[in-house]
Amino acid sequence: MSIEQAQVQQALDIFGDGTRLDILGENADLLRYAESEITAQHSERRLRVRVRINRNGRSVAGSLETLEPSAVQDLADRLTAALAELPSGPVQEAAPAADHSAPTPVIPASESVLESDPAVRHRWFATVRAGLDPSAKLGGAIRYEVLDRVVADSAGLFRAETLTKASIQAIAKQDGKSASVRLMHRDADQIPVEEIPGRLREALRPLPVAEAHHGTCPVLLKPQAANALIATYGYAVLGANAYATGRSAVSGRLGEKVASELITLVDDGCDPDGLPSGFDAEGNVRRRTPLISNGVLTGVVSDRRRAGLTGGVPTGHAVPDGWRFGGDPVPSHLLLEAGESTDDELLAGVGSGLVVNRLDYLRVLHPKETLVTGTTRDATYWAEDGKLVGWHPQVRFTFRMDDVMNAVLGVGSVRERCDQTFMESVVVPSLLIDAGPLVLP
């Protein structure tokens, strides 16, 4: 699916002055499997056009799934009528105009995904299945995506990019236990599928089931678990609007210590260690934004409306109109700096404690207090004297993220590329958390 500039310009002409279009063409090819058998193969095609019109201090928005002129004209008529019916009120200060002069970062699309060869996805599945013990059952999905993005406005802005992404999730179950691996990259050829069976076999190690621990203990969050923590913390805490309105736990604390000195966190949409993209839903170029440096709050991410908090220039973190996760700017490409600790050193640091490979269903209960709830999932272990001695029953945690961020004792030297439904990429190492913030009920 390609989005022609002529089509976009025609739609802008129909909608008229003050219009911004945020267009996403999604092309996805999916292979699903369960119980070590392929269960579904299908393709998804979708075009989503978000429209925002600002005129005379009034604003309306709408959406459609085509750029066909008659459909565009119908929506334009309805939005124009809605504008006319809006009551006049005090004219609010306009957000800064888009910077048309800033060049669009070039994110190369990968031929390995553009070609989308079904045989490759079959080989991936067969490679993982063949590398597991015959008694293990494999489930999960392989997905290839091509995203055509355009943001354009009636003042002459036109930004376009084609993003590719390949991902594989493999969940192995054996003897009532489960382990999972998830890998993704803009280039399918860069995904080390051959490493997945070994990682799953190691995670499904034959250990006894340990008795559930209650109370406090050190906790080692492996990268997929640290991913959920860092992504949710960034979403809840590090946006400029939450900061400016006092809804963030770090409001008013720029330049102050907000986390362990071992934590250095940036947002960088062009870093190849993540899943790069060039611009946000307003057409702002994504800018590398330091957020926390050795535990000290150094910045937040912004859109045009909150650019005053970031030197008058938006950092490229506007979210789409009608986004189901809210309308405030939030981080999109988080990278947590690696530390110096090996996996063995982190495990030794646990002593007697919990090793968590994945956190799931992490939900924010109170953003200002950073209070969240979530559960462990897949390969949760109990360690004694720095050695894994048993599988620990799954645990539901309720904790404050800022307490955990301040209790980091060790940071792993190896990072993994992860993602979230509300964030394009998160690159994180393992984190060793001191006893206290995470209480096992």
| Nearest residue to 221 (alpha-carbon basis) of 109, 356, 35 | 356
118: Cβ contacts below 8 Å, ≥ 6 apart? 29, 31, 41
Listed residue (360, 326, 338) closest to 228, CA to CA:
360
pLDDT tens sequence across 242-277: 999 999 999 999 999 999 999 999 999 999 999 999
Per-residue pLDDT band for 101 (boundaries 50, 70, 90) equals: confident
Alpha carbon of residue 85 to chain centroid:
38
Alpha-carbon distance of 353 to 188, in angstroms, equals 37
Domain positions in the chain: 5-203, 215-440
Q: What's the pTM value of the predicted model, to 2 decimals? A: 0.94
Q: What is the pLDDT of residue 440?
A: 80
Residue 274 φ/ψ, nearest 5 degrees: -100, -145
CATH placement of domain 5-203: 3.30.2290.10
What is the per-residue pLDDT across 168-213, written as a single tens digit (0 to 9) for each?
999 999 999 999 999 999 999 999 999 999 999 999 999 999 999 9
Quick one: average pLDDT of 237-241? 97
> Who contacts 336 (Cβ-Cβ below 8 Å, separation ≥6)?
226, 230, 263, 264, 265, 411, 415, 426, 427, 428, 429
* pLDDT for res 89: 61
Mean pLDDT (the chain) is: 94
In 10 A of CB 312, how many CB atoms? 9
Residues 331-386 pLDDT 10s: 999 999 999 999 999 999 999 999 999 998 899 999 999 999 999 999 999 999 99
More confident residue, 419 or 99: 419
pLDDT number for residue 203: 95
Distances (CA, A) of 117 to 144, 190, 192: 9, 15, 17
Q: How confident is the model at residue 93 (pLDDT cuts 50, 70, 90)?
A: low
| Residue 110, token pair as written in the block | 């990968």
Instruction: Name the percent of the chain lying above pLDDT 90.
Output: 89
Confidence (pLDDT) at 98: 65
The mean pLDDT of 99-116, rounded to a whole number, is 88
Question: What tokens were used for 96?
Answer: 């800064």
pLDDT tens-digit series, residues 384-397: 999 999 999 999 99
